Amino acid sequence: MNLLILLLRRSRGAVALAVFFGLLTGAASAGLIAHINAVLTSGGTLADRATVLGFAALGALMLGSRIGSQLLLTRLQTRTTFALRDQLSQRILATPLRQLEELGNHRLLATLIDDVQAVTQGLLCIPPLLIHGGIIVGCMTYLAIMSPMVFAALLVFAMLGVASYLLPMRHIMGLLRHSRQTNDRFFRDLRSLTQGLKELKLHGGRRTAFLKQELFPTAEALKQLQVKVSTLHTFTTSWSMSLFFFFIGLLLFALPGLTPVSTSTLVGYTLAVLYLQQPLESSMTMLPMLGAGTVALRHIDTLELAAAGSPLPLSSGEPPAPPSRIDLAGVTHAYRREGEDTPFTLGPIDLTLRPGEILFVVGGNGSGKTTLAKLITGLYTPESGEIRVDGRSVTEGDRERYRQLFATVFSDFHLFDSLLGLAEGDKADKARAYLTRLQLDRKVRINDTGALSTTDLSAGQRKRLALLTAYLEDRPVYLFDEWAADQDPLFKEVFYRELLPDLKAAGKAVVVISHDNRYFDVADRRVRLESGAIVAEESAAAPTLSARPRSAL
């Protein structure tokens, strides 16, 4: 039902027209059976020109309306599937980063790959199901007109068949929901397999434990569920279909003994019931696919992604003007995890960024530096406190625009295969000049569309490419999260002594998260984090480390 609503939302007109064509197919089918019945029971005397022409016209009508209905719905289904995938991608991009981190990459991938595929297959079932529905309605109407009494008996059998089909179907839907949940686990294990290749290859014990305790049991559970669904469905469908043969047996062998029934009724019923077998059987085969599509659609809802109507704009328009200061005033963020009594809390943090100033954020592992970076850049929304740009508070409505102030290289950055719009016009030459400056010109080439000749590089070289992208973005604020960690000593020197001062000279505000205490003198200001709080602040003008009072949360 949810799937049909999805189709209806795309185009009510096309669905209505397709249903009309479906009903026309049913009426034409019923007409054809009536013709066949009339010819059979007349002993061949009705095989005149008019009957033949009528038969041919009905056949053409059935063919035309069937093709019309199928084409309309299949096109609509294809459009809906692609729109669903586009919409989902945009909804994911519009959903707060923290919420996506909590869901985990494996669940997002399972949705984008598996759920969308299940919805597609479910939607594919709707066109034939509607046509079959039309044929069933047409044939039933013909049978009701032919003999209301026999039709009442058929209805009893049909209801019995539907009930004995729907009861197990409820159980099948439960199994499908369970299977969908297990699939999330399966994707998590597949992610461990592909991302942990080195660790799994290097340690046989770990590999065996991973396969035996994680991947294989999940795959086995998934297999069992799928086998259960198909076994239950085979029994249910076969039983429901056999009821129709009981009915034909009753019709042919028992009914004539109980009440007078004409040969034409007997032949008509037998023909129609046999004719109905195919659409009924095919409908029943498709119902689990429809069910899986419905489960997938509901599962997409449980992710609680940003509303369908609120995708991020495809272009952010003009970049915001460089501000003269950005203030973080009492901002906080806490990671709440199930079963954890004391969540890690960052803040309240008070901090100011100014153009032409290099700010170092230092502190031990897990002290909250990256979390602070995500708050500064607007990737996390402060749970309390506020961020101000030139004294104006950043609201939910302008957070997307606020993020456009930053060019970043996080420690878990992603490198795209192309500069994605950053190498248009004269920027392409700029990009090539940066390649030389970053000592990558012998390794990587950039073509006219901005595609990189390769991203298969060493960790340090990949980081340099990420830095090149940040340069091309030309934003007012730069943030580097342990950028120099995998650079050789020579290039570390270039980064701290040349590149950072150049950015400063260009009037950029620069935030550097660093453990390189050899270069702490490059900073105009330095803040030290400990357990989520700024515990000390030092500036080049007053180089003594001044301890800040720890704020009680």
Query: Which residues of the chain form contacts with ligand ATP (CB under 6 A)?
Result: 101, 335, 337, 344, 363, 365-371
552 secondary structure, DSSP code: P
- We find the least distance from the C-beta atom of residue 121 to ligand ATP, in angstroms, to be 34
Residue 323 has a CB neighbour count (10 Å cut-off) of 20
CB nearer to ligand ATP: give 97 or 420.
Answer: 97
Residue 534 near residue 527 (C-beta atoms within 8 A)? yes
Cα–Cα distance, 329 to 91 (Å, whole number): 30
CB nearer to ligand ATP: give 348 or 363.
Answer: 363
- We find the least distance from the C-beta atom of residue 523 to ligand ATP, in angstroms, to be 17
Residue 8 near residue 15 (C-beta atoms within 8 A)? yes
- We find the least distance from the C-beta atom of residue 410 to ligand ATP, in angstroms, to be 10
CB nearer to ligand ATP: give 367 or 461.
Answer: 367
Cα–Cα distance, 298 to 251 (Å, whole number): 44
Residue 334 near residue 340 (C-beta atoms within 8 A)? no
| C-alpha angle 220-225-229 in degrees, rounded to nearest 5 | 145
Q: What beta strand segments (E) does 433-550 contain? A: 477-481, 509-513, 525-530, 533-539, 546-547
- We find the least distance from the C-beta atom of residue 531 to ligand ATP, in angstroms, to be 9
Beta bridge mates, 352 = 327
- We find the least distance from the C-beta atom of residue 367 to ligand ATP, in angstroms, to be 4
CB nearer to ligand ATP: give 297 or 372.
Answer: 372
Structure tokens at 42: 């007349």
CB nearer to ligand ATP: give 170 or 337.
Answer: 337
CB nearer to ligand ATP: give 342 or 544.
Answer: 342
- We find the least distance from the C-beta atom of residue 479 to ligand ATP, in angstroms, to be 12
From 360, 408, 374, select the one nearest 513 (Cα to Cα): 360
Give me the torsion for CA of 82, 87, 92, 96, rounded to 10°.
Answer: 180
- We find the least distance from the C-beta atom of residue 15 to ligand ATP, in angstroms, to be 43
- We find the least distance from the C-beta atom of residue 360 to ligand ATP, in angstroms, to be 13
From 447, 407, 455, 453, select the one nearest 428 (Cα to Cα): 447
CB nearer to ligand ATP: give 369 or 463.
Answer: 369
Q: Is the dihedral of CA 529, 534, 540, 543 positive or negative?
A: negative
- We find the least distance from the C-beta atom of residue 346 to ligand ATP, in angstroms, to be 7
| C-alpha angle 531-545-525 in degrees, rounded to nearest 5 | 85
- We find the least distance from the C-beta atom of residue 484 to ligand ATP, in angstroms, to be 13
CB nearer to ligand ATP: give 101 or 429.
Answer: 101
Cα–Cα distance, 320 to 89 (Å, whole number): 25
Residue 289: exposure state from Cβ atoms within 10 A (0-12, 13-18, ≥19): middle
Instruction: Kindly give, in sequence order, each residue whose CB lies less than 8 Å from that of residue 295, ignoring residues fewer than 6 positions away.
Output: 118, 173, 176, 177, 180
First to last CA, the chain: 50
Residue 123 has a CB neighbour count (10 Å cut-off) of 26
Instruction: Kindly give, in sequence order, each residue whose CB lies less than 8 Å from that of residue 363, ignoring residues fewer than 6 positions away.
Output: 369, 528, 529, 530
CB nearer to ligand ATP: give 107 or 132.
Answer: 107
CB nearer to ligand ATP: give 124 or 376.
Answer: 376
- We find the least distance from the C-beta atom of residue 499 to ligand ATP, in angstroms, to be 21
CB nearer to ligand ATP: give 158 or 379.
Answer: 379
CB nearer to ligand ATP: give 33 or 346.
Answer: 346
CB nearer to ligand ATP: give 371 or 377.
Answer: 371
- We find the least distance from the C-beta atom of residue 366 to ligand ATP, in angstroms, to be 4
Structure tokens at 155: 């209805």
Q: What beta strand segments (E) does 273-422 contain? A: 326-335, 344-353, 358-363, 384-389, 392-393, 406-409
- We find the least distance from the C-beta atom of residue 357 to ligand ATP, in angstroms, to be 21
